[in-house]
C-alpha cells in the first residue's frame, strides 16, 4: 500500500513543516487540518518579527496576542522594530495599553527586541520587567525621546540576562550601567541558566553597545564596569561608535575574560599600533573579529594593517573576519582604502585553514587578493568583497571555484554594468552549495533544479559529472523575512 502523509507518525510533522519560513506558508499550513493546526501555529508564532513594511499590521498583531493568550504563550522571540506612533495623545495611550496587554500574555518570551524609536514608555518597560523567561534584551536605549520617554532605573529591575544590546544609549542609561551590571551579578544565584561554577560572577554572555560617535561610553564609564565584567561568562563583546573609548580599559579587561569568543570594535578611539599587539596574547581563543578600517587619511592608517597582522597571528581559533570602512572626505565624497594582496595572502596563509567567513566592505580588494584568499582558504562559506571599477569578470568567476562549501557570496563594487545574467553566470560556476548571491544592493536566492540526464555513461567521474550536468541554476528574488547580513554592516 502506498505511503500517505496521514500514515506518518505525528511526531514527524514538526520536522516536515520546519523548512517553511514565510508567514503565508505557515498560515496556509495551519488551515490544512486539525492535526496540522497546532504544529503550524507553534512555528508561526515562535518567532514574531515586525519590521519595515509590517507597520500596517503591527496593531492587528498586538491585538491578536492581547486577545488570545494561548497564541501569545507560543512566542519565544519577539522583534518590535516598527511601532505605530500616532500624533494624537489618545491613540498613543491606547497603543501603549495594547502593548502592555500583549506583553502580559507573552509569558514564554525569551528574547525581546524593542528598538523602534519612541516606542518605549514606563508602562511598557514595567510589562517587560515582568516577563518570567526573558534572558535576551535588545532596546533603543534613549530615554528622552518624544514620544516615549522612560526612566533608566528600570534596568535595575530586569531579571538575570544572558544577552543585552543597547542601541544609541544616552547619558542616563550610561550612568546606570555600573549599578545594573552589579545588580545582575547579585541576581546570578536566581538565574535558571546558572551552573555550579558560576557563584558570584556575572552571567551575562553577550554585551553589545551601539553608539553614533557618542562620548557617553568613554574610558571613565567603561572602567567603572570592569569590576562586574571581569571573570564573567562574557563570550561576545561588541562596541561601536564609542568615540571617546580608547584601548586602555579594554586592555585591562581582556585578560580577565577567559570565555571571550566574539569581539567587535567599531569606530572606537583605538590606537591600533599599540592596542592590537598588546591585546593579541589574550585573544588566542577568539573565533570572530569585526573591526573598522581607519581610512586612507587617518593618522593611524599606515600602522593599521601591520598591527592587525600581529593580532591575527595570535588568533589561532579565528573562523570569521569582518573589516569595513564607511568614512567620507571633507568634501563629502567617499575615499576608499584598499586591502593589499600581501595582507590578504598573509591572512589566508596563517588563518585560511579555519576561516569560514571573510567580509570586507568599503575597503577595496583586487583580483590578485581574491585569488590569494580563495586558493588558501578553501573552507570559506560566507564571503563579502568590495571590488573597484576595473576587474575581469571571467577571472573573478574562476577565483571562486576552489570554495567547495560556499553558501553566500556578496560582491560590492563601484561598477554598475554587471547584469543579472552576469551574476547568474557567476552563480553557475560556483559550488552547488551556494544559496545566496548579491551584487551591490541586489540580492538573489540561488535555486537549483535537477532532471535525469539522457546519457548515464559520463566520465571520468560519472556521479559528479551527472550531478553537474543535471543541475539547472536560476536566481529568485530575495524574499526571506530577514535581511542579508552583507547589507546589515554597522556604519557609524
Pick from 20, 28, 22, 78: nearest CA to 49:
78
* Spatial separation of the C-alpha atoms in residues 398 and 139, rounded to whole Å: 44
Q: Is 403 a residue whose pLDDT tops 90? A: yes
Look at residue 485 in the predicted model and tell me its pLDDT. Answer: 61
Pick from 257, 251, 311: nearest CA to 280:
311
Using one digit for the tens of pLDDT, what is the confidence trace for 145-203? 777 789 999 999 999 999 999 999 999 999 999 999 999 999 988 777 776 665 678 99
The mean predicted confidence, pLDDT, of the chain is 87
* Spatial separation of the C-alpha atoms in residues 471 and 488, rounded to whole Å: 31
Q: Are 105 and 73 in contact (CB under 8 A)?
A: yes
Cβ-based neighbour number of residue 415 at 10 Å: 15
Q: Is 412 a residue whose pLDDT tops 80? A: yes
Q: Are 361 and 412 in contact (CB under 8 A)?
A: yes
Using one digit for the tens of pLDDT, what is the confidence trace for 98-129? 999 999 999 999 999 999 988 999 999 999 99
Q: In Å, what is the CA distance from 25 to each residue of 182, 444, 449?
A: 45, 20, 21
Indicate the pLDDT class of residue 332, thresholds 50, 70 and 90. Answer: low
**Where is average pLDDT lowest: 4-18, 145-159, 232-246, 435-449?**
4-18
**Is 289-492 assigned to CATH 3.80.10?**
yes
Q: Is 369 a residue whose pLDDT tops 50? A: yes
The stretch 276-282 carries a mean pLDDT of 96
Sequence-ordered list of residues with C-beta below 8 angstroms from that of 351, at least 6 positions apart, any chain: 312, 315, 318, 321, 377
Backbone angles phi, psi at 180, to 5 degrees: -65, -50
* Maximum mean pLDDT: which of 2-6, 198-202, 469-473: 198-202
pTM, full prediction:
0.88
Sequence-ordered list of residues with C-beta below 8 angstroms from that of 118, at least 6 positions apart, any chain: 83, 85, 145, 146, 147, 148
Look at residue 217 in the predicted model and tell me its pLDDT. Answer: 95
What percent of the chain has a predicted confidence (pLDDT) above 90?
Answer: 63
Look at residue 210 in the predicted model and tell me its pLDDT. Answer: 95
Q: Are 423 and 444 in contact (CB under 8 A)?
A: yes
Q: Is 490 a residue whose pLDDT tops 50? A: no
Q: Is 44 a residue whose pLDDT tops 50? A: yes
Amino acid at each position: 500500500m502506498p505511503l500517505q502523509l496521514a500514515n506518518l507518525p505525528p511526531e514527524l510533522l514538526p520536522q516536515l513543516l520546519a523548512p517553511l519560513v514565510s508567514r503565508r506558508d505557515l498560515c496556509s499550513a495551519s488551515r490544512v487540518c486539525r492535526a496540522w493546526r497546532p504544529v503550524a501555529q507553534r512555528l508561526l508564532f515562535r518567532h514574531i518579527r515586525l519590521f519595515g513594511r509590517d507597520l500596517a499590521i503591527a496593531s492587528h498583531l498586538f491585538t491578536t496576542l492581547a486577545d488570545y493568550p494561548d497564541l501569545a504563550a507560543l512566542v519565544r522571540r519577539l522583534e518590535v522594530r516598527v511601532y505605530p506612533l500616532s500624533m494624537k495623545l489618545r491613540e498613543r495611550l491606547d497603543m501603549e495599553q495594547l502593548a502592555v496587554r500583549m506583553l502580559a500574555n507573552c509569558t514564554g518570551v525569551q528574547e525581546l527586541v524593542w528598538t523602534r524609536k519612541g516606542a518605549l514608555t514606563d508602562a511598557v518597560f514595567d510589562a517587560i520587567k515582568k516577563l518570567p523567561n526573558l534572558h535576551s534584551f535588545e532596546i533603543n536605549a534613549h530615554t528622552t525621546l518624544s514620544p516615549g520617554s522612560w526612566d533608566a532605573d528600570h534596568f535595575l529591575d530586569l531579571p538575570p540576562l544572558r544577552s543585552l544590546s543597547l542601541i544609541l544609549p544616552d547619558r542616563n542609561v550610561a550612568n546606570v550601567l555600573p549599578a545594573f551590571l552589579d545588580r545582575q551579578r547579585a541576581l546570578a544565584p536566581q538565574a535558571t541558566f546558572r551552573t555550579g561554577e558560576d557563584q558570584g560572577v556575572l552571567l551575562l554572555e553577550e554585551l553589545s553597545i551601539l553608539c553614533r560617535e557618542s562620548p557617553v561610553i568613554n574610558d571613565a564609564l567603561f572602567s567603572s564596569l570592569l569590576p562586574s565584567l571581569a571573570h564573567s561568562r562574557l563570550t561576545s563583546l561588541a562596541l561601536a561608535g564609542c568615540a571617546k573609548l580608547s584601548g586602555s580599559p579594554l586592555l585591562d579587561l581582556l585578560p580577565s575574560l577567559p570565555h571571550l569568543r566574539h569581539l567587535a570594535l567599531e569606530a572606537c578611539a583605538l590606537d591600533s599600533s599599540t592596542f592590537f599587539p598588546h591585546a593579541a596574547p589574550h585573544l588566542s581563543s577568539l573565533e570572530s573579529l569585526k573591526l573598522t578600517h581607519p581610512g586612507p587619511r587617518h593618522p593611524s592608517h599606515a600602522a593599521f594593517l601591520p598591527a592587525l597582522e600581529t593580532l591575527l597571528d595570535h588568533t589561532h581559533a579565528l573562523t570569521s573576519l569582518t573589516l569595513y570602512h564607511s568614512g567620507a572626505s571633507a568634501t563629502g565624497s567617499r575615499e576608499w582604502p584598499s586591502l593589499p594582496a600581501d595582507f590578504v595572502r598573509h591572512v589566508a596563509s596563517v588563518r585560511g585553514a579555519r576561516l569560514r567567513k571573510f567580509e570586507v566592505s568599503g575597503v577595496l580588494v583586487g583580483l590578485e587578493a581574491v585569488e590569494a584568499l580563495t586558493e588558501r582558504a578553501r573552507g570559506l562559506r560566507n564571503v563579502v568583497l568590495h571590488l573597484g571599477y576595473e576587474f575581469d569578470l571571467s577571472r573573478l568567476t574562476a577565483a571562486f571555484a576552489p570554495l567547495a562549501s560556499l553558501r553566500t557570496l556578496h560582491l560590492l563594487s563601484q561598477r554598475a554594468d554587471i547584469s543579472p545574467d552576469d551574476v547568474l553566470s557567476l552563480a553557475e560556476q560556483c559550488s552547488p552549495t551556494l544559496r545566496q548571491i548579491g551584487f551591490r544592493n541586489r540580492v538573489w536566492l540561488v535555486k537549483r533544479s535537477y532532471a535525469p540526464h539522457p546519457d548515464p555513461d559520463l566520465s571520468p567521474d560519472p556521479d559528479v559529472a551527472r550531478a553537474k550536468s543535471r543541475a539547472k541554476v536560476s536566481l529568485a528574488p530575495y524574499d526571506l523575512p530577514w535581511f542579508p547580513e552583507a547589507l546589515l554592516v554597522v556604519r557609524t
